[in-house]
Amino acid sequence: MKLLVMGPPGAGKGSQARRLVKDYQLTNISTGEMFRQSANRGEELGKKAMEFINDGNLVSDEITNEIVRRRLFEEGDNQDFLLDGYPRTVSQAKALDNMLKEMNSRLDAVVNIVVDKDIILERMVGRRVCKNCGYTYHVRYQPPKTQGTCDQCGGELYQREDDKLDSVRNRLRIYEEKTKPIIDYYKGRGMLININGMQSFDAVYRDINKALRDVT
């Protein structure tokens, strides 16, 4: 199975993807990791990619597509995978479709985990982290026994800068702007599976499984 999982920050996409990789025995193809590996091997392509990243920029479509292409052709067309961090633009999505077509293959499904903005805000803004051990709490859903103090080690709990309201709002806005065209692209191609992410982890996973049974 060749899969793509999408979802806004705070939707639990990472945990769902990890479980899918394990249960379906998929290769997790992460562009971030490929960039680093390629750079470590001293390849020109990887070095260029790391320059973009180190400057705080997105790696260009050209370099990203080329690195994904090499990896896919290296693995061969029987490889089952879950793509992580790619495609990030419609142009990358189109390039991916073409690469797979060349291999007489295609994506089986694009799983889109949908969560209302207000719920994401509540989940993220309520998050507190222990300064000492990094354990994570939620003021409402997983509060510590004593307010502001870690149950595990007694350390002080704090709110990370990027969990603050303005920061979360900003990240959600950027996510929507960037991914809406990609979601529309896959919807137009009849590949998009919307999953209700406003349920427990297990319920979300069950719904994903159910949907995947219908496509394979």
Residue 160: active-site member = yes
Q: Does 152 bind Zn ion (CB under 5 A)?
A: yes
Contact predicate 39/46, CB 8 Å: yes
- 44-54 helix and 61-75 helix, angle to the nearest 10 degrees: 130
How far apart are the C-alpha atoms of 168 and 118, rounded to whole Å? 11
Shortest CB 14 distance to Zn ion, Å: 22
Question: Which of 160, 187, 189, 206 is the catalytic position?
Answer: 160
Residue 36: active-site member = no
Site string for Zn ion, 95-134 (x = CB under 5 A): -----------------------------------x-xx-
| CB of 143 or CB of 155, closer to Zn ion | 155
Query: How many residues line the site for Zn ion (CB under 5 A)?
Result: 8
| CB of 59 or CB of 130, closer to Zn ion | 130
Contacts 24+ apart (CB under 8 A), 67-70: 67/31, 67/34, 67/35, 67/38, 68/29, 68/31, 68/34, 68/95, 68/96, 68/99, 69/95, 69/99, 70/45
For the annotated catalytic residues, the residue numbers are 13, 88, 127, 160, 171
Q: Which residues bind Zn ion (CB under 5 A)?
A: 130, 132-133, 135, 150, 152-153, 155
